[in-house]
Structure 1
Amino acid sequence: MESIFNNTLVDYPKETSLHSLIVKSAQNYPYSIAVKFHERSVTYTEFNKTTNRIARVLIEQGIKKGDVVGLALDRTPEMIMCLVAIMKTGAAYVPLDPEYPKDRIEFMLEDSGAKVLLTSQKYKGHYAGNTVEVLIEEALAKSENYPAEEPEVEVTGKDLAYILYTSGSTGKPKGVQIPHGALVNLELSMQKKPGMTPADKILAVATISFDIAGLDLYLPLVTGAQIVLADSLTAKDGRALLDIVRSENITIMQATPYTWRMMLEVGWNEYLPLKVFTGGEAFPKDLAEKLLPISKEVWNLYGPTETTIYSIIKQITDANDITIGWPIDNTQIYIVDEQMQNHTDGEIGEILIGGAGVSWGYWNREELTVEKFIDNPFSDIPGDKIYRTGDLGKYKPDGDIVYLGRIDHQVKVRGYRIELGEIEFNLGKQPDIKDAVVVAREDTPGMPRLVAYLTLPTGQVGVPESTQITNWEQALLAVLPEYMVPDDWVLLESIPSTPNGKIDRKALPKPDYSHINRTGEYVAPRSDNEKMVARIWEEMMGLEKISIMDNFFQLGGRSLVAVKIMAKIEQETGKRLPLATLFEYSTVEQLAARLEVDEASISWKSLVPIKPQGTKMPLYIVHGAGLNVLLFNALAMNMDDEQPVYGLQARGLNGVDEPLDVMEEIAANYIEEIVAHDPIGPYAIAGYSLGGMIAYEMAKQMLAAGKDVKLLAMFDTYAEQTTKFDSPLKKSLKGIWLLAKQIAYTPVLFMEDPKRTIEYKSRELGRKVTKTFKKIFPDKKKKTVFSDYNNEIDERSGKAQRNYLLTPVNIAVELFRAKKKTFYMEDTKLLGWAPYALKGVHVHEIPGEHNTIFAPPNDKQFAKVLQECLNKAV
């Protein structure tokens, strides 16, 4: 019997391929911008012609209708073009995010039987297997000689468009097969409601390995609208996203609740004419309350990968009435009991989804496909399938659907669908773990955390030792994405069970979130300031009952939460404190006492004591592009007890002192404070990213002044020479050549120092956008110091770097190089330092990528190697 609420039948071109709709957009809007990425814009004509040429290269490579092609490219316009080009060959693509673990990607390639892997020079030979590699750089060069007309391949709505892998309960991902017709139905339905027009701009942030990217990329392309593409690091930076929304006049953005929270936390409080699409996980009431007043529209979108991205949608107008709404076109929803009786009377049951969006099932997983994709008991069409979501829901009287969570223990955390069984499976392979159960807890509203409950052969209970946690985290990171690594770990004597022997997940104890290195017994706040600071820490850190003796860093405090804490304190007290205050005043008691001091006496010196105690030669570390020295704390705390560590933060953070924009002056300013602190030496200087260039100039000046510089360390700094002093012709040729290589590797198209990572470049772009926006619309409201991090000081530091001429120095460079490369470099071995360090470059490879080398568990190995270098230098 058909549900009374499933009157969704709409005529649509079910025999049409997805890319044929994109071709129509190119015909209707040939000169409109299809994709914008940083400073580069691609018109619909250019986009379509390029996809045709790439498709022809792939066809010549032997790709034909029905084949499978893997795609592992960084987020650039070429990534989107290649997705469409693959479809134009008649093949199906497997989206592979290069940030995912190597083993996971190799499994997907092997399991899917991909005939070709379309990737870039950056990842050449990186993935093991029998798949033939086609490099996009070579394909683009070769395609210039190919016709730009559409390939003569007939692709219909019944052909496969992509295979997307999701987390699997057996420990291996499972591939979902989506045909063209299902995508066409989704895009055309969503084009009408929530709605998109050719005048819209959508900010695309979802990774291609997340199915919602299919809306980010294809809805605008079939509409004639514009995609503003965020690179992978910008997509994780709430401030950078907010800057782009403002500067690019973005009208639509789709993101998970986690991303929307990030944007709110960095200062979004003014109205923006933005359609908010939220999906991927349940939409919390408190988030709706914040988004509704400052957005044009807010839409809640629901749907599993298996039914083509989204199946049910609703515009949210009241935060007290958050439901998932009604089915999209040609989609049927049933809420059934165990006997498959359809509940239209408000009874709770499992959500079943039928209609045009239902996929073909799981690739090479026939048994699981039979289990989840069953014959539709409500349809008279032979062979019609319906998908069992495993989600609970109920109907309201008007057909509006209320989502009530999972039947099983598949969860969503920060927008990612996670099979907890996959984490448990991999933990169970560790020799020192007996049993493992993983759950998602939300003990603090809006802050879901993965918690691993373990039993060990040793019988150990309580909180694991830090070395144990590090070992388990590293083992998981080798095979799972970072978002699947537990946040908290609890050791139990035994896993609780129900009377019938099943795991009793409800009986698993709440973790003691306040256990982390508490100093002595709990001491309650006494003064008003202590109560305020404790309350803010508890709120921002998601902890309970913080003692006034608790240490910020030992509680797990990091840079981002420090920014929030200091901004909140300034908001409530009017007093502005440097982030570095937390080094010296790291307990609730100390920070509260610091607030009692006259604001005029607060120090904004560049030299910051991170770990001042110890008898060894001090190490002075210069800030990176983010200007924040707090991230050096974990490194310092893992070094010898007798090793002093100081940080150097930028001048001007107080909003009073004038920031410097000449490299020699910045270096001289830092040297002055170091020498005032230690007039004799010897000295050990280090710099992170941009700070490496400053440290180099500091060492140069100190040597010229007769100072004894024992060590100069670069923390993943690339030595890129300025082009300021080149002739116009040479500068032009260098620029063209660099541009070509950036397109091929990390296509960031504005001419900046390439030693910085994609993250730095993204934030630099955000700062420029912010500066332009402020010139046009000056904000007269008081700003917190933290907003300056991405604005004037960084702008001036960038100017200093662009104008700085590297010259050889009679010194050795200790180069701490990130193991994982995330951006294009001419010299991947010595990072360009060989011509400038006349005494040689000594390389030390550090686990992690550019912006995670200081994060646990990488900080421990980093500290060990750095300490050995310091000891050897003395």
Structure 2
Amino acid sequence: MEVVLNNTQIDYPKGKPLHQLIEESAQSYPGNVALTFHHTTFTYSELNVTANRLAKELIARGAATGKIIGLALDRSAEMVIGLLAILKSGAAYVPLDPEYPKDRIEFMLDDSGASILLTSKKYKGHFASNTIEVLIEDALEASKNHSTDNPTVNVTGADLAYVLYTSGSTGKPKGVQIEHHSLVNIMLSFQKKPGITPDDKVLAVATISFDIAGIDLYLPLTSGAQIILADSITAKDGRALLDIVRNQGVTILQATPYTWRMMLEVGWDDYLPIKVFCGGEAMAKDLAERLVPRSKEVWNLYGPTETTIYSIIKQITDANDITIGWPVDNTQIYILDEQKNNLTNGDIGEIFIGGVGVARGYLNRPELTAERFIDNPFASGEKIYRTGDLGKYKPDGDIVYLGRIDHQVKVRGYRIELGEIEHNLGKQEGVKQAVVIAREDTPGIPRLVAYVVLESGQTGIPEKSMLDNWDKALFEVLPEYMMPDDYVLMDIIPSTPNGKIDRKALPKPDYSHINRDGEYVAPRTSNEKLVAEIWEELMGLEKISIFDNFFQLGGRSLVAVKIMARLEQETGKRLPLATLFEYSTVEKLAARLEIDAEAITWESLVPIKPKGSKMPLYIVHGAGLNVLLFNALAMNMDDEQPVYGLQAKGLNGVDEPLDVMEEIAANYVDEIINHDPVGPYAVAGYSLGGLIAYEMAKQMLAMGKEVKMLAMFDTYADQTQKYDSKLKRVIDDSWTLIKQVAYTPVLFLEDPKRTIEYKSREIGRRIQKIFKKLFPDKVKKKESFAAYTNEIHERSLAAQKNYLLTPVNIEIELFRAKKRTFYMDDFKFLGWKPYALKGVRVHDIPGEHNTIFAPPNDKQFAEVLQKCLDEAAAR
């Protein structure tokens, strides 16, 4: 059986580098669309020419055969062009997903010895390394001076194509070295089976830090087919992916079982003429049962990074007969026992892989390379890779995958070395021992559980402060997918008779208590009861409190998709998946995205205190529609501190007010840059004006401008409700009122007089709002200034309602009013923490929301603000 199974030898162009196959595609299909990203399209000819020119620019900057170049770019057409250009330059690349922790990326750059980092203006100076930083925008502009022909660099199939880092059992990632000829072999093999033609459209969703991205990008490009590149947000949204497949004629999609389940949970019930490539982790029977009748073909793909993406593939036609199949071209599979005997009789053993796909080894890790890449006992002079996976042969020669031998696991499609999590958790203060396992107590919902022994001997449920500290520390060094879902404190870790950790004896966590905020509070309304019941069913938990946090309960995007789909089924209301980022408790989700009725106001540049030698501060106003409020603040700042305000366009009653957040921001950015073309810049916003300041900073960073400080003056990060119905908004307003009333006793104890005043005005405002909606004909129309300020109010409200907050690589200085006068979902960070990737620094300032600029509060506010400005300018 072994001879038949491993008789996979076939001639292939071993001496060709991968990019030569792509160049041949460009010659054969010059007018075919090669790449689409949003509204940007490249033909094969355009893509090849652009990559050629960029490659020559990289060569001029030091790229060469034997060199390693790091690539840290957001998912975009430029990302693909950058990868091709590096290959064409003769260098090898290290793919770096900018969403990964900064420390992890910096380790990869240093460990790989990368001489150049190809990145964008967005990440300029962000990663500390010994590389020469090349900005893609500058390099592409400079590359226009180069010729369009293919570079004449001598690159062979034996040269390195990339170094891809995988999770490491010793606590540090390890770099897998893949040569060109290995990639050429897998592409040519895949062209035949599963098969691809120049007419195919491939939806690419895998991060470039995941080796399967090689199939997403290079299989279509070596075949004359089209790549439809999904951005990072779309790639995580099952509904968005399904829409693209249906609307753009996608014929091939490669994804992990996790992603396929997301798509199935959002209503994929019809047949789609698509080839399903399913890899990354084992295919379950129930998943196959759902995929087979809905798609043209279903392929189960298996292979570790160390053997070049995939080594064994199988078309699945029967969910009762799931195997990983047969090896791809020029690949040999052996199932061996501990004595390296080949188990061709159906006994269970470890899967070893040989052939041209076997990597060069781990970069700078000779001992680990020697351990995992051993001499092939069946072919002298060759190496085979020990996968650590268990498998067996079926009588017909197919291979059945049976899980891991060691403690490396696959969770949510990612290969995870549990030892890396244990290593980093064990370094935390007070931790004596840490063991992490993957559990699936609820079928289809795997959870990473950390069992911790403390030096103090404490057992049971960890304190919230302890959990917060661990999560914060781990998130700095580990990707999100490696974060433990649950923690259990133990007095001792169970062991087997021979002294090894008995992982099977680790207890099931008490999911009714872990990661809960405070005591259990039962649902109070029908909506809360509905949401709580759905969470309990789909998350496999009991007695979820209305204040429990979805993510602290271990919630992930797959179960989020199920929750949103069920809510839509039960209520008829379709909520964006991102709702759970901001409305992450039962209470908040049941409230359906409340929205503050205050208008966002913006206007032209106004000099408040224009003289001074320090870095100017530009402040966007809130609902008052002018900048007079900032005068006292500015006057209390240093004599050399210039301050400018931004007022809403249209206050003069002549200009047309803007109603799109991005356009408003772009208008103000233009005014600021026209006033000061060089920078650096400090931008701030008060109340809802902080949202426009946030978008301004985002646009400035994208332009390569240096934003030294982004400040929020008591601004809450409200998220859009643009897809909600009028009825839902009425319901949300009513529920908001209920929450505010419920919080009133707390406010009353702090300041009875002010609470009565504020609540009375708030109730009157809401009654007036309801009256206007019910009896619009009886509302007296405003005239003159009041009329167009009202129009600005309405336009600003439209801009806010349609503005989608997305994370930005920036730090926010949050100036938070000490005195609370109304209920907020997040009193600590005012909702900004998910959006400021570099963190939120909180500064408490005296007063309440409406009095932080009033004497005597303005003086203390100015002192704190000036100190922050000076620190920012000095950085």
With structure 1 as the length reference, what TM-score do the two structures score? 0.70
Cα drift, residue 4 of structure 1: 3.2
Distance 1:510 1:62, change over 3 A: same
Distance between the aligned counterparts of 1:81 and 1:27, measured in 2? 17
Counterpart code for 1:631: E
Alignment-derived partner of residue 772 in structure 1: none
Alignment-derived partner of residue 369 in structure 1: 369
Alignment-derived partner of residue 289 in structure 1: 289
Match of 1:495 among 486, 493, 496: 493
Match of 1:472 among 470, 473, 477: 470
Counterpart code for 1:852: P
Alignment-derived partner of residue 180 in structure 2: 180
Counterpart code for 2:582: L
- Over the matched positions of the two proteins, sequence identity in percent amounts to 60
Distance between the aligned counterparts of 1:630 and 1:367, measured in 2? 43
Alignment-derived partner of residue 711 in structure 1: none
Of 425-434 and 3-12, deviating more is 3-12
User: For each residue in 1:762-801, what CA deviation from the matched residue of structure 2 results, as whole angstroms up to 9, or x when unmatched?
Assistant: xxxxxxxxxxxxxxxxxxxxxxxxxx9759999x9xxxxx
Cα drift, residue 393 of structure 1: 0.2
Distance between the aligned counterparts of 2:849 and 2:185, measured in 1? 63
Distance between the aligned counterparts of 1:562 and 1:63, measured in 2? 44
Alignment-derived partner of residue 128 in structure 2: 128
Distance 1:243 1:521, change over 3 A: closer
Q: 1:821 and 2:803 equivalent? A: no
Of 285-294 and 365-374, deviating more is 285-294
Alignment check: 8 A CA contact 2:206 2:213 kept = yes
Q: 1:22 and 2:9 equivalent? A: no
Q: 1:265 and 2:265 equivalent? A: yes
Distance 1:865 1:193, change over 3 A: farther
Distance 1:633 1:173, change over 3 A: closer
Alignment-derived partner of residue 353 in structure 2: 353
Alignment-derived partner of residue 111 in structure 2: 111
Alignment-derived partner of residue 746 in structure 2: none
Distance 1:724 1:159, change over 3 A: farther
Flag structure 1 segments of 5+ consecutive residues without an equivalent: 580-624, 638-644, 651-665, 672-694, 705-717, 742-752, 761-787, 797-802, 832-843
Cα drift, residue 577 of structure 1: 7.2
Matches within 5 A, 1:116-515: 116-380=116-380, 383-515=381-513
User: For each residue in 1:564-598, what CA deviation from the matched residue of structure 2 results, as whole angstroms up to 9, or x when unmatched?
Assistant: 44753674xx655798xxxxxxxxxxxxxxxxxxx
Distance 1:819 1:386, change over 3 A: same
Cα drift, residue 821 of structure 1: 2.2
**Secondary structure in 2 aligned to 1:151?**
coil
Alignment-derived partner of residue 541 in structure 1: 539
Alignment check: 8 A CA contact 2:2 2:344 kept = no
**Secondary structure in 1 aligned to 2:48?**
helix
Counterpart code for 2:430: D
Alignment check: 8 A CA contact 2:512 2:543 kept = no
Alignment check: 8 A CA contact 1:53 1:146 kept = yes
Q: 1:631 and 2:582 equivalent? A: yes
Alignment check: 8 A CA contact 2:304 2:310 kept = yes
Counterpart code for 1:404: L
Distance 1:76 1:529, change over 3 A: closer
Distance between the aligned counterparts of 1:345 and 1:183, measured in 2? 32
Counterpart code for 1:336: L
Distance between the aligned counterparts of 1:626 and 1:534, measured in 2? 17
Alignment check: 8 A CA contact 1:822 1:850 kept = no
Flag structure 2 segments of 5+ consecutive residues without an equivalent: 602-619, 630-645, 674-691, 700-720, 730-789, 815-825, 855-875
Counterpart code for 1:424: E
Alignment-derived partner of residue 34 in structure 1: 34
**Secondary structure in 1 aligned to 2:441?**
coil
Distance 1:790 1:158, change over 3 A: farther
Cα drift, residue 130 of structure 1: 1.4
With structure 2 as the length reference, what TM-score do the two structures score? 0.70
User: For each residue in 1:430-471, what CA deviation from the matched residue of structure 2 results, as whole angstroms up to 9, or x when unmatched?
Assistant: 112110001111111111111000000111111111111110
Distance between the aligned counterparts of 1:388 and 1:48, measured in 2? 38
Cα drift, residue 179 of structure 1: 0.3
User: For each residue in 1:377-396, what CA deviation from the matched residue of structure 2 results, as whole angstroms up to 9, or x when unmatched?
Assistant: 1114xx21110000000000
Distance between the aligned counterparts of 1:540 and 1:348, measured in 2? 35
Cα drift, residue 807 of structure 1: 12
Cα drift, residue 45 of structure 1: 0.7
Cα drift, residue 852 of structure 1: 2.3
Distance 1:636 1:448, change over 3 A: closer
Distance 1:240 1:871, change over 3 A: same
Of 58-67 and 178-187, deviating more is 58-67
Counterpart code for 2:834: T
Distance between the aligned counterparts of 2:58 and 2:83, measured in 1? 12
Distance between the aligned counterparts of 1:293 and 1:758, measured in 2? 48
Alignment check: 8 A CA contact 2:346 2:392 kept = yes
Alignment-derived partner of residue 778 in structure 1: none
Cα drift, residue 85 of structure 1: 0.9
Cα drift, residue 556 of structure 1: 3.7
Distance 1:377 1:648, change over 3 A: closer
Cα drift, residue 272 of structure 1: 1.2
Distance between the aligned counterparts of 1:319 and 1:277, measured in 2? 15
Distance between the aligned counterparts of 1:231 and 1:758, measured in 2? 21
**Secondary structure in 1 aligned to 2:127?**
coil
**Secondary structure in 1 aligned to 2:145?**
coil
Distance 1:566 1:484, change over 3 A: closer
Distance between the aligned counterparts of 2:564 and 2:129, measured in 1? 50
Distance between the aligned counterparts of 1:845 and 1:54, measured in 2? 48
Distance between the aligned counterparts of 1:374 and 1:405, measured in 2? 21
**Secondary structure in 2 aligned to 1:434?**
strand
Alignment check: 8 A CA contact 1:234 1:759 kept = no
Counterpart code for 1:248: Q
Distance 1:548 1:135, change over 3 A: closer
Matches within 5 A, 1:578-617: none
**Secondary structure in 1 aligned to 2:172?**
coil
Largest Rg, 1 or 2: 2
The CA RMSD measured in Å over matched residues stands at: 4.7
Distance 1:725 1:309, change over 3 A: same
Distance 1:433 1:267, change over 3 A: same
Distance between the aligned counterparts of 1:830 and 1:399, measured in 2? 62
How many residue pairs get aligned? The number is: 686
User: For each residue in 1:16-70, what CA deviation from the matched residue of structure 2 results, as whole angstroms up to 9, or x when unmatched?
Assistant: 1100000011011111111100011111111001111111111111221111111
Alignment-derived partner of residue 608 in structure 1: none
**Secondary structure in 1 aligned to 2:431?**
coil
Distance 1:362 1:122, change over 3 A: same
**Secondary structure in 2 aligned to 1:425?**
helix
Distance between the aligned counterparts of 2:696 and 2:268, measured in 1? 26
Distance between the aligned counterparts of 1:405 and 1:167, measured in 2? 18
**Secondary structure in 2 aligned to 1:436?**
strand
Alignment-derived partner of residue 852 in structure 1: 834
**Secondary structure in 1 aligned to 2:36?**
strand
Matches within 5 A, 1:740-819: none
Cα drift, residue 137 of structure 1: 1.0
Alignment check: 8 A CA contact 1:634 1:854 kept = no
**Secondary structure in 2 aligned to 1:128?**
coil
Distance between the aligned counterparts of 1:132 and 1:49, measured in 2? 24
Distance 1:302 1:454, change over 3 A: same
Alignment-derived partner of residue 661 in structure 1: none
Alignment check: 8 A CA contact 1:818 1:848 kept = no
User: For each residue in 1:264-297, what CA deviation from the matched residue of structure 2 results, as whole angstroms up to 9, or x when unmatched?
Assistant: 2222222111111111111111111222221111
Distance between the aligned counterparts of 1:328 and 1:758, measured in 2? 49
Distance 1:442 1:95, change over 3 A: same
Matches within 5 A, 1:594-743: 628=579, 631-632=582-583, 649=594
Distance between the aligned counterparts of 2:490 and 2:109, measured in 1? 38
Distance 1:146 1:808, change over 3 A: same
Distance between the aligned counterparts of 1:757 and 1:280, measured in 2? 39
Cα drift, residue 320 of structure 1: 1.4
